[in-house]
Amino acid sequence: MFASMTGGMGRSGGSRGQYGYAPPKPDTRKQEAFFAQYAETPDDGSSELIITETGTEKLCEDLGFSPLDPVALVWCYHCGAKQMGSFTKTEFLHGLAVFGAQDCAQLRERVDEMRSQLQPTHPLCKRVYNNVFLLSLEPGQKQLGKEMAIEVWKLLLPLFGNAELANSWLVYVEEHNKKPAISKDVWNMVFDLLLTCKADLSDYDEDGAWPVMIDDFAAHMKENSIRSKSTLVMIVKLSVSLIAFEY
């Protein structure tokens, strides 16, 4: 997940930290030493050390999760990373400050807190989800390529419940949607769709402020439902006719 997505904005944890406790005064020497374990000189010739994909993979391993684990996206969010899988010293130290950590052991203790922010009821979950769109963009792009969007959705949407609707959405985007890219508005509103609508979209508000692509998806679902009911009626009628014929 870390390797190929770029963009993004960070978030501050507040004066008492993200979780309400007042973190101890940071030992910057420990934090900088922690950063240095994974940092290297970038290929662009810059003198500033950064953590690249290789260092990020090692960091994830040391923290006890895969680079493909969605919890990595929470860490990116709080660091304010501008590129997925790459962290400047400032970004990395910012993430440590949010979680009140000074070394790997302390940050590892915060992984469960990070993971809790992927629960759809958590107040930060939607912010983390929305930020993934920015992290996933190619440089200079404003819309996310459909294939990349599908790849990331397959990782994230199962975390939010409403699995049947999530699967229907993915099938629609893969097989029926002709647009090559996903807008930020569509990306953001998919989260709301899963959390507010039934799996069959029987409660979908056509007059709501939904993007056109989601309206088209709802119309597609309705059409399929009508077609399925018509097919069922025909099967029942045929069965009744066959039974009557036998007698």
* Each residue's pLDDT tens digit, 134-170: 999 988 999 999 999 999 999 999 999 999 999 999 9
Of 50, 195, 64, give the one whose Cα is nearest residue 129: 195
- More confident: 107 or 24: 107
Would you say the C-alpha torsion 69, 186, 131, 48 has a positive or negative sign? positive
- Categorize the per-residue pLDDT at 24 as very low, low, confident or very high, splitting at 50, 70 and 90: low
* pLDDT computed for residue 246 by the predictor: 57
Q: Does domain 1-138 have CATH number 3.10.20.740?
A: no
87-115: per-residue pLDDT in tens?
999 999 999 999 999 999 999 999 999 99
- Rounded distance between C-alpha atoms, residue 10 and residue 99, angstroms: 13
Contacting residues for 168 by C-beta, under 8 A, at least 6 apart = 199, 221
Q: Output the CA–CA distances (angstroms, integers) from residue 3 to 81, 120, 145, 196, in the order listed.
A: 13, 25, 16, 32
In 10 A of CB 96, how many CB atoms? 25
CA distance 68 to 84: 12
Question: What are the residue ranges spanned by the domains of the chain?
Answer: 1-138, 142-246
- The one-letter code for the residue type at 102 is Q
Confidence of residue 131 (pLDDT cuts 50, 70, 90): very high
Secondary structure (3-state) at 17: coil
Q: What is the pLDDT of residue 84?
A: 86
Percentage above 90 pLDDT, the chain: 74
- On the question of pLDDT at 230 being above 80, the answer is no
* CATH class in words for 142-246: mainly alpha
* Alpha-carbon gap, residue 96 to 112, rounded angstroms: 15
Average pLDDT on 175-187 reads 96
Establish whether domains 1-138 and 142-246 are of one fold.
Answer: yes
Bridge partners of 87, per DSSP, are: 51
Three-class HEC string of 97-122: HHHCCCCHHHHHCCHHHHHHCCCCCC
Mean pLDDT of the chain: 86
Backbone angles phi, psi at 39, to 5 degrees: -85, 160
pLDDT attached to residue 7:
37
